[in-house]
Amino acid sequence: MNRTPITVNPEDYPIEYRSLLGSEVYNSSCSPAAQVLFIDKVGGVFIKRAAAGSLCREATMTRYFHKLGLAVPVLDYRTEGAQDYLVTVRAEGEDCTHPMHLAQPERLCDLLATTLRTLHDTPAPDCPIPNHTALYLQTAKTNAEAGMFDATCLLNDRLRDTVRSAADAYAIAARDGKNLTQDALLHGDYCLPNVMLSDWHLSALIDLDHAGMGDRHVDLYWGAWTLCYNLGHDQLRERFFDAYGRDLIDLDKIELISIIETLG
């Protein structure tokens, strides 16, 4: 977790938060789209601030995952003026990018895979975001129209040779997106920084702004991607898939997800 000491003006925040902001405050942001403050008080509290309406899905799905025992509680969510505010407690332990976790890559890989399989096997008939796939494909369409394209998301050289632009990627997404299902509870951004462990047991899943009922291969893609990115090599991809369970993995779908992800 990033922790850079920062000075903030409490009057820039809702009056109910100002007593918290009198304590030690750290910048824990990882995206220009949102400011995340960590307050080192009562076990740790996060205040996330972003454009009005942009944190609604994260608040909704964090509350839902908390009900399932998979996330920390939401202390407050509100919109004031042009800003959204989301307040949560700090999860126990450290995220999976902590050196003590990265020092045991095989153990980390297996835990990441089995935790994901457990998430996907969790019954969620009342999930408040039942249509992740539709939202996912609509985002791909919107971003393709804006010309967004990131070839680094592609899984291999064969794909990089054939998918060279947003137009190429969206043509495939529009043609094959109908093959994606909505039959598993997803994290939506299943990367090592978003999985909190305490003594090598899941403490919480965080940053749930892309969660919902969707196609498991979205999470499988990101699980394989994050191991490669955070460990600096791709030697554990097959082990990750084996530990998850090959019975539910379609490698063609994972390639499709990698193409869609080029569109942001």
- Annotated catalytic, 161? no
Structure tokens that stand for 166 in this block:
């947003």
Structure tokens that stand for 63 in this block:
């509350």
CA gap 31, 9 in Å, rounded: 21
Q: Is the alpha carbon torsion for 234, 236, 239, 240 positive or negative?
A: negative
Structure tokens that stand for 144 in this block:
């393709």
Catalytic residue among 84, 95, 189, 219: 189
Q: Are 154 and 262 in contact (CB under 8 A)?
A: yes
Name 33's Cβ contacts closer than 8 Å, sequence gap at least 6.
Answer: 50, 51, 54
Q: Are 211 and 194 in contact (CB under 8 A)?
A: no
Whole-Å CA distances, 77 to 2, 46, 47, 88, 203: 22, 12, 10, 9, 22
Query: Which residues carry out catalysis?
Result: 189
